[in-house]
Amino acid sequence: MSDPVNFIAEWLKSLMANIGLPTGVVVVIITLIGIVVMATFLLVMDIGLVWFERKMVARFQDRLGPNRVGPFGLIQPIADIIKLLIKEDIMPQGADKFIFNIAPIFALATVLLLWAVIPFAPTILGSDINVAVLYIVAIGAVGTLGIIMAGWASNNKYALLGAFRTVAQMVAYEVPIVIALLVPVILARSMGMQAIVEAQSPWYIFVIPLAAFILFVASIAEIGRTPFDINEAESEIVAGYHIEYTGMKFGLFYAGELLHALTVSAIIATLFLGGWRGPFVDQVPILGVFYLFLKSFLIYYVIMWVRYSFPRIRIDQMLGFSWKFLTPLALILLIVVAILSKVLEGVSPPIFALAMLAANLIIIGVTVTVLRVYARVERKRVGEERPLAVVPDPELQQLIQQE
């Protein structure tokens, strides 16, 4: 049985049809069952992500990580959930109770909604809509509301400041994300995720690597992970938008962050790494699920690598990086890809792919050159404004001047 998911779905349809249920009711029931199964699968995987990330960061920091509760610490996330469930639920004085309580659910639910258009396999897909990329942009923007609601309803200045920072961050990095998403859409001539996967021959990571890089960096900023975790900068605003949340409400925010990182990884894998495509997937469609999550976890590992390797940047640096670097670079790439896509229309796929790759490499080379020149000029300007202090030791003074 190469496609057990659709086999079970067809069996349930025939079973309900045999007992006399109308076709419309059968479709609604099958859809609800699919939603529950997918949400449960993702939430269980989210629990596993807690263990996976804690183990990986332990290796980064030369520690053991969870290793007491269960073999290899595998049951540690369950113990953490129990701890969060039995903790006291505190409501801040003066808080808006309804918005305060609904915000963490809202933040997690919007992440789950993104998986509705991600194809798991050739025959396993929640909804194959022809504007799936637009849907991802819209739901990603709506997800920010959960954080804004939490900061506003908490009646806490630190939480509100963290929420406002999120607004600035989301507005800044949604622009390069949208532009980067348009690049594979132009090449595939479709906004459907399934169509983009099927159009990737070769994978778009080898055709438009710069678009993948821009989407990767901007997505890290969108989910608020280091070095872009300004909305919860502990050294400045204590814990940001969720400072007043305790127990499982805080746990939902944390689960949403982890799942959002995996969701972003799955989206990048779908758009640039071929999604479910891989050896023997045409003969055994269920293999597509394995290939998709293998690629997604590879990207998730890189996101963790970045998170635990770089320090947090200032908010002015973060916003400047988007408006002054990522957004202009994404616009240049979009214009070049759009022009080349029209000029090279009708040529053989290998020539088209090589031309696109060459254009990306030229843009990367020019960008690096411009950055080097800018850095040299900036160092000279700073050096003129801040001359070296007089050092008594002449040898040390000479060494500093040489550096």
What whole-number distance in Å separates Cα of residue 51 and Cα of residue 65? 9
Per-residue confidence in pLDDT tens, the chain, 403 aa? 567 777 888 888 888 888 877 888 888 888 888 888 888 888 888 888 889 888 888 888 888 888 888 888 889 889 988 988 888 888 888 888 889 989 888 888 888 899 989 999 888 888 888 899 999 988 887 877 888 888 888 888 888 888 888 888 888 898 999 999 999 999 999 999 999 999 988 899 999 999 999 999 999 988 878 788 776 666 666 777 888 888 888 888 888 888 889 999 999 999 999 989 988 888 888 888 899 999 999 999 999 888 888 888 888 888 889 999 999 999 999 999 999 999 988 888 889 999 999 999 999 999 999 999 988 888 888 777 665 555 556 666 666 666 5
User: Is the Cβ–Cβ distance between 76 and 70 less than 8 Å?
Assistant: yes
Q: How far apart are the first and last CA of the chain?
A: 67
Q: Alpha carbon of 318 to those of 70, 165, 219, 229, 289: distances in Å?
A: 41, 11, 13, 10, 35
Q: What count of other Cβ atoms lies within 10 Å of the Cβ of residue 247?
A: 15
3-state secondary structure of 124: strand
Output the pLDDT for position 334.
95
What whole-number distance in Å separates Cα of residue 110 and Cα of residue 223? 12
Q: Alpha carbon of 192 to those of 96, 120, 134, 142, 182: distances in Å?
A: 39, 14, 9, 20, 12
User: Is the Cβ–Cβ distance between 271 and 204 less than 8 Å?
Assistant: yes
DSSP-assigned beta bridge partners for residue 121: 124
> Domain segments of the chain: what residues?
1-84, 87-343, 346-403
Output the pLDDT for position 207.
92
Phi, psi for 30 (deg, rounded to 5):
-60, -40
Output the pLDDT for position 204.
93
Q: Alpha carbon of 79 to those of 45, 69, 86: distances in Å?
A: 16, 8, 11
Output the pLDDT for position 394.
66
- Give the alpha-carbon dihedral of 63, 66, 69, 75, to 10 degrees: -160
Output the pLDDT for position 205.
93
Output the pLDDT for position 236.
66
User: Taking the complete model, does pTM exceed 0.75, yes or no?
Assistant: yes
User: Is the Cβ–Cβ distance between 215 and 246 less than 8 Å?
Assistant: no
Q: Alpha carbon of 315 to those of 134, 194, 261, 306: distances in Å?
A: 28, 37, 21, 18
DSSP-assigned beta bridge partners for residue 124: 121
Mention every residue, 6+ apart, whose C-beta is less than 8 A from residue 323: 172
3-state secondary structure of 121: strand
